[in-house]
Amino acid sequence: MAKKKELSKGIRALLSNIDNRKEENKVASESPVSLMALSQIEPNSDQPRKQFDHSGLEELAESIKIHGIIQPLTVRKMGGKKYQLISGERRFRASKIAGLKEVPVYIRTANDQELLEMALIENIQREDLNAIEIAIAYNRLIDECQLNHETLATRVSKKRSTISNYLRLLKLPPEIQKAVVNNTISMGHARALAGINDIAFQLIAFDKTIKSKLSVRDLEKFLSDSPNTKSKKKPNTNNLPTELIIIRQELKGIFGTDVNIDRNASGKGKISIAFKNDKELNYILEQLRED
């Protein structure tokens, strides 16, 4: 307990030397660090991070027991003696696990939009968010804080192309987004899948990635070799009725490879499904068994 008190005094001494001059056009004012009871702090309902690794929180709690909290939490004044957490959610949760009764805090004054912007940017830059959480945070900054892509890129010190790559992930089907959140597939897999315009084929490629345990490079090769994602000379369809052309396209989407339908005037014909190797053949056979 003595170590924690000494650490808190050290933090106050350190922060007392910070230049507190107010900058022109500054959107939020910051007070010197104070010790505050955890019971006075309410979590921020707009916290962009929705999942926290329990083992990681336990490790942080152990560190806090030994070293205390080096980086104060940031809160804003609410009604009565209550304060709302702006940033430092992991530290807040770990402090509870560690059994702390009070924590060092900065007290800021900010309106709701400024609160949201500060919380989102702080988490994007400092927390180990998964790719979907980062994409959601970027999207909220654009939609709710009226930031354009260029301004957002500057605020978070990223290239505009990086922002765009993350935002494209939000257009993926929910099952693929969930796989990113659960770390079943990587950001690299998700980026490759996001480059597919056909949702049906996105799901086919996703399913193949999971079942065949494709690396990002394997997935990219599969996509580059697939007729669904590269331009090829279109087969002659003049002799096929519209309904058979549609069926052929649906089969291409199911199997992720080239499919051809031949039919003569009497209605007799055949369906050919192309494959390049045993892996593609096995995938086709799996789809036939499932269907």
Q: pLDDT tens digit string along 12-57?
A: 444 444 334 333 334 344 447 889 999 999 987 766 666 677 887 8
If 0-12 CB within 10 Å is exposed, 13-18 middle and 19+ buried, where does residue 147 land?
buried
Query: Other CB atoms closer than 10 Å to residue 283's CB: what's the count?
Result: 21
- Full-prediction pTM beyond 0.95? no
Stronger pLDDT, 213 or 250, i.e. the higher one: 213
Phi, psi of 259 (to 5 degrees): -130, 135
Round to whole Å and give the CA distance between 142 and 37. Answer: 34
CA angle in degrees (0–180, nearest 5) for 122-47-111: 75
Two structure tokens written together for 255:
């199997």
Active site residue 89: yes
6, 24, 59, 89: the active-site residue: 89
pLDDT of residue 29: 40
Which domains does the chain carry? 2-10+29-110 (3.90.1530.30), 197-291 (no CATH)
Confidence of residue 211 (pLDDT cuts 50, 70, 90): very high
Q: pLDDT tens digit string along 233-261?
A: 444 444 667 667 767 766 776 766 788 88
DSSP H or E stretch at residue 117: helix 112-126
DSSP state of 108: E
Q: pLDDT tens digit string along 145-168?
A: 778 888 888 888 888 888 888 999
- Asked if residues 170 and 156 have their Cβ atoms less than 8 Å apart, the reply is no
